[in-house]
Structure 1
């Protein structure tokens, strides 16, 4: 479940308030950490520029930044749940073959491990170990 907007006057949603991802994907914490780090970075940059950190324009920068990741992961988590909760025999075979192929191809396996760990995409500075 995704809210219509991540911001309201002088407020921003982060974490589970900003996205309800199915827990089977295990990505809620990663998204929440990215949300918090992105909001901190946007607010710090705005403060450095002398902007009102609660203004609609500043908070909208946060919302735009996070919406792509949030929507993408919500769609992926939904597909993941549908794929792995389906007992169709043909789908089970395809699913097993797909997992076997990914497991044998190092770059694909590493990509999915990085994706699952939340270490892909436009990461905020805090999550790259840098100051905001």
Structure 2
């Protein structure tokens, strides 16, 4: 069929955005609703998958204990689990984007030295790749391939 424009165009700014609170009354934010990061290599998707897996684990454990899964006590466990990781990852991605979008000679020099070090030091390279692949930090069981 025919494709038609249904509304005005919108430009979404590529900037760091973090929700002030990850939970509210009987609600939890995950993925792009919880954090907006520059689309660097799908890292926002990795963060969202961690959010969903963590929320799932918290809710399943609460249900097994007979808790109200929508209570603030239960949802706050999810928020506490994800807050630090979300903030540090978002800040890291933001810094990474700023570093690679800057063309000042001293910044280029530092960037080149840093990349050379990552390429030459195997443990640093592995840590960098693990973080970039979303497999670092306090991973929920689902992301470790375990049952919930």
TM-score w.r.t. the length of structure 2 is: 0.87
How much has 1:74 moved relative to structure 2?
1.1
Please report the RMSD computed on the Cα atoms of aligned residues, expressed in angstroms: 0.8
Give the counterpart of 2:136 among 120, 124, 132: 120
Deviations along 1:10-34, one digit per CA (max 9) or x if unpaired, are: 1100111110011125310100100
Higher relative contact order at CA 8 Å, sep ≥6: structure 1 or structure 2?
1
Q: Partner of 2:102 in structure 1?
A: 86
- By percentage of residues, which structure has more helix? 1
Q: Deviations over 1:14-61 (max 9, x none)?
A: 111110011125310100100000000000000010000000000000
Residue 91 (structure 2) aligns with: 75
Say if 2:136 is the partner of 1:95: no
Q: How many residues align?
A: 132
Question: Is the Cα contact below 8 Å between 1:25 and 1:80 reproduced in 2?
Answer: no
1:42 aligns with 2:69: no
1:104 aligns with 2:120: yes
Partner of 2:75: 59
Secondary structure, in 3 states, of the residue corresponding to 2:35? Answer: coil
CA distance in structure 2 between the aligned counterparts of 1:38 and 1:24, rounded to whole angstroms: 22
**Conserved? CA contact 1:25–1:77, under 8 Å:** no
User: Which consecutive aligned stretches of 4+ in structure 1 deviate over 6 angstroms post-superposition?
Assistant: none
Secondary structure (helix, strand or coil) at the match of 1:23 reads: coil
Bigger Cα displacement from structure 2, 54-63 vs 72-81: 72-81
Note the alpha carbon deviations across 1:54-93, whole angstroms, 9 max, x for none: 0000000000000011000111011111111111011101
Answer whether contact 1:19 1:70 (CA < 8 A) is retained: yes
Bigger Rg, which one: 2
